[in-house]
């Protein structure tokens, strides 16, 4: 009885999510990770830098950073002040520099310089949480082990009525139940693109929104 009740509740949401994905894919056929990178290590470092910082600003910093430090060993042995100076524009540069150096030290020592491709290994690296791990797994390795929940995904998931939760962990847990696994990677990219281009935090463009007829606009002032 409980299982059948849950299925009746989940089925409408699954149908909703499928329509949501169909519309977003039509609107943003080129949706992808905005952080510029050439390999998993660069993506990992760029994702660390993106905390409390825009991808655009990160992309301005990383060319000189990646030109100077190319391997995990390079980052692990980088003078902290030099690293801080390069990444200063991304904010919280002292914490980020330490996280990059310590994470790369573990990667160099324990993984022969290769960024792990397993969730359990990634989240045990210094300063690496589920969000960063999911970014690396999904974008660099094509592995759907979770859903990236950044500020855009969190905001849109609430506005779309997909979850009432506010913390990334609970939001992700709720989304994993209603988004088909084969869509986990695309789902984040699509919501992030929509959040930047249409459903912004302060002034969502509801009048021209591709999701207008679907969205309950939870929490959006008329």
Question: Tokens 């943003």 belong to which residue?
Answer: 28
Q: Is the dihedral of CA 44, 49, 50, 54 positive or negative?
A: negative
Question: Tokens 């994702």 belong to which residue?
Answer: 47
Please check whether residue 13 is in contact with residue 178, taking contact to mean a CB–CB distance below 8 angstroms: yes
Please check whether residue 210 is in contact with residue 31, taking contact to mean a CB–CB distance below 8 angstroms: no
CA distance 138 to 135: 5
> Is residue 177 annotated as a catalytic residue, yes or no?
no
Query: Angle at Cα 186 formed by Cα 178 and Cα 197, nearest 5°?
Result: 105
User: How distant is the alpha carbon of residue 134 from its chain centre?
Assistant: 7
What does R_g of the chain's alpha carbons equal in angstroms?
19
Whole-angstrom CA distances from 87 to 17, 23, 55, 61, 98 are: 38, 37, 13, 6, 11
Please check whether residue 58 is in contact with residue 35, taking contact to mean a CB–CB distance below 8 angstroms: yes
Annotated catalytic residue, options 55, 96, 150, 186:
150
Annotated catalytic residue, options 30, 117, 120, 131:
131
Catalytic positions are 131, 150
């Amino acid at each position: 009885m409980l299982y059948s009740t849950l299925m009746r509740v989940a089925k409408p949401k699954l149908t909703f999510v499928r329509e949501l994905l169909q519309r977003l894919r039509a609107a943003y056929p080129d949706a992808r990770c905005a952080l510029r990178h050439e390999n998993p290590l660069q993506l990992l470092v760029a994702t660390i830098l993106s905390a409390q910082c825009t991808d655009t600003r990160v992309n301005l910093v990383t060319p000189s950073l990646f030109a100077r430090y190319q391997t995990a060993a390079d980052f692990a042995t980088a003078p902290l002040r030099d690293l801080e100076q390069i990444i200063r524009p991304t904010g919280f540069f002292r914490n980020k520099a330490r996280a990059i150096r310590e994470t790369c030290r573990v990667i160099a020592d324990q993984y022969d310089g290769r960024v792990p491709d397993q969730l359990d290994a990634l989240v045990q690296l210094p300063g690496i949480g589920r969000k960063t791990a999911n970014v690396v797994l999904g974008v660099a390795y094509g592995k759907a082990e979770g859903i990236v929940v950044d500020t855009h995904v969190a905001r849109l998931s609430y506005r779309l009525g997909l979850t009432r939760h506010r913390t990334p962990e609970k939001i992700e847990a709720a989304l994993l139940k209603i988004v088909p696994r084969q869509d986990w990677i695309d789902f984040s990219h699509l919501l992030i693109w929509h959040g930047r281009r249409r459903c912004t935090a302060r002034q969502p463009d509801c009048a021209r929104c591709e999701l207008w007829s679907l969205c309950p606009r939870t929490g959006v002032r008329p």
